[in-house]
Amino acid sequence: MSDRLDVETGAAGHPPLALDGHWLRHCWHRAGNALIEARARLDDANVFPVADGDTGTNMAATLAEAVADCGPEAHAGRLLACLATAALAASRGNSGIILAQFLDGFAARLQTAAQIDAADLADAARRGAECARSAVAAPVEGTMLTVMDAWAAALATPSPETPVPIALAGALEVAETALASTPARLPVLAEAGVVDAGADGFVCLLRGFSAALDRPGRIETELAAVAAPTAFHAIDHHPAGAPAAPKLRWCTEILLEDTAATPERLRAILADLGDSIITAGRAPRLKVHLHTDTPHRAAARLSSLGRLGPQQVEDMRLQYAAHHRPASAVGLVTDSGCDLPEPLRDRFQVHQVPLSIQWGQDQYIDGRTLTAAQLYRLLGERRESPTTSQPPPARFERLYADLLGSHASVLSLHLSGRLSGTLGAARLAAERAGQGRVHCVDTRQLSAGLGLIVLGTAEALAAGADAGAAAGAAGRLAERTQIFVVVPAVASMVRSGRVPPGVGRLARWSGLRPLVCVSSAGVVSLRGAAFSVPGLERQLLRRLRHGARQCPTWRWAVVHVKAAEAAARLADRATPVLGREPAYIMDTSPTLGVHAGVGSVALAVTWGSSP
């Protein structure tokens, strides 16, 4: 796609006096490119408020994706309104959300302007800086807020005849001076010997914006295609001299739709849940950012004030560990269809990309903004049933790009491709951002079956296996792993499509309950039926005895859907049959709980003596 910039901007050979929508789109596109080019350097300098190495990536993604969402538009005010709306939706991290709020304030001042001159620009810059500062619960000097204020003040008194590029050039010098002073204002920057990464990013985009105006007079130029978000590739991270790991675990972002709440109200109700609280946008659409150990509590409080829209929750502690103390040369990724206890995931640095849950008009992230306990409570309160969907490829892209900055390659193990589109999303992301270094594997399993495969693969990586050898180990484990599910009622599995409707009708008519298994082809199949749960357990134990006579048990585990007593009883009965204690017993993820139904218990076993 290309656009023609053909705007009369002043006498031939002179800088433009005003900018229309085409000029502005061109300028913001160049600003986004400048951030993309600088993002590795900005990420490496990121020490405040959390040293998670993503400031440049977040700012670049926010602006690049926002520009990509804006089509050609001659009217300056409408173009900026589109940019601000798209930036709010695309914003990521502290720096991205502050940038989105700046753009929102910037655009608000210019809604009716067909073109903007230097005086308009000054007014919009002041409003943008004010809005950015108001979004932060506890503003700190020596950050991008300081540089925004300095830049806006330098634009404050232009002559009506001042060309926009001339006004920008003078203000840019002031912004660069303010950037250089950030270490003197913020001790953590001085200790690390860097300027503030967010402030540096803001100056980078100002340079890019100004560079787009370096050809005076009447111009024609071909813009780069911006119909799709820019692909983000790997960045080299440098762990030397890194500060301590984050105190709070989850970097949480939630878009709240259809709300009458004010940003101040949202900050107040979230104040006790963490720090780095930022609220951007205006009612009826606000975006919240915070660092917290309880993202599910934040989502629950926000849901009372509006509709929960798209969300992002990233594990800052695991990101830090992967950058600074990688467990192996190969990054290991799975999805939230994998039931593996958190201590084991942390020990082996297993990165989990969560599936999505849609419940009525609200969106959730599996296990992060909706826990298993919340799911079971809401099942008793809501009439409608939740549905699940695979993660968008962008979630995988971001994680792959991040891991490839500190790992030689990435191995991505996922639940059965016959049961979910998650594997397809992972493979698409690997093609886009993997640079041939991301290897996706269909384990043909789910839940604890997938958990056992991931655990065995993680152990192989910790022992020094490369990606190819570990993928081979995962494949061998998958061939020898089974999972059986004792289902007290089939309604949930029928509704989710995991059990054919005919089987559901037969079960309801006869009173039979099914014993479900995931076959070697990765699909759900029936392995028995009984009129009672104890009857199903007896059938399962017979199958386990038969398997144990054929082959030793390597490892096994039990998971359940709000059925801890039933899970413990089954584990007690299965232990003498399988000849060893279970590797773990745990609640299954909310996504899998939706499909299996309350009361279900599953036992997964891997046969053999070694991976």
Question: pLDDT by residue (tens digit) across 255-291?
Answer: 999 999 999 999 999 999 999 899 988 889 899 999 9
The CA distances from residue 267 to 77, 99, 199, 276, in Å, are: 29, 18, 23, 10
The C-alpha atoms of residue 539 and residue 548 are separated, in whole angstroms, by 14
What is the enclosing helix (H) or strand (E) of 244?
none
The C-alpha atoms of residue 507 and residue 284 are separated, in whole angstroms, by 47
Residue 61's pLDDT band, with cuts at 50, 70 and 90, is confident
The pLDDT tens digits for 529-564 are 767 888 889 999 999 999 999 999 999 999 999 999
Give the pLDDT of residue 382. Answer: 80
Which value, to the nearest 10 degrees, does the dihedral of the CA atoms of residues 565, 569, 572, 575 take?
Answer: -110
User: Hey, what are 554's tokens?
Assistant: 């390597």
Q: Are 246 and 320 in contact (CB under 8 A)?
A: yes
Give the pLDDT of residue 219. Answer: 37
Residue written as token pair 């232990």: 575
Give the pLDDT of residue 136. Answer: 86
What is the enclosing helix (H) or strand (E) of 603?
strand 601-607
Q: Are 202 and 40 in contact (CB under 8 A)?
A: no
Structural domains of the chain, ranges and CATH numbers in brackets: 18-211 (1.25.40.340), 250-479 (3.40.50.10170), 481-607 (3.30.1180.10)
Which ranges of 464-517 would DSSP assign to H, the alpha helix?
467-479, 491-495, 501-510
The pLDDT tens digits for 484-531 are 998 876 555 555 555 555 555 555 555 567 788 887 778 877 777 767
Residue written as token pair 């992002």: 312
Task: List the one residue out of 167, 146, 141 whose CA is nearest residue 155.
Answer: 167
Q: What is the pTM of this model?
A: 0.75
Task: List the one residue out of 54, 108, 35 whose CA is nearest residue 402.
Answer: 54
- How is the beta sheet containing 356-359 ordered, strand by strand? 362-365, 356-359, 387-389
Helix, strand, coil percent values for the chain (each to nearest 5): 45, 20, 35
The C-alpha atoms of residue 152 and residue 130 are separated, in whole angstroms, by 9
Beta strands in 97-233 (DSSP E): 116-117
- How does DSSP classify residue 243? -
Does the pLDDT value for residue 209 go beyond 90? yes
Residues forming beta bridges with residue 163, ordered by sequence position:
none
Residue 256's identity, in one-letter code, is: L
Tell me the longest C-alpha to C-alpha distance in the chain: 91
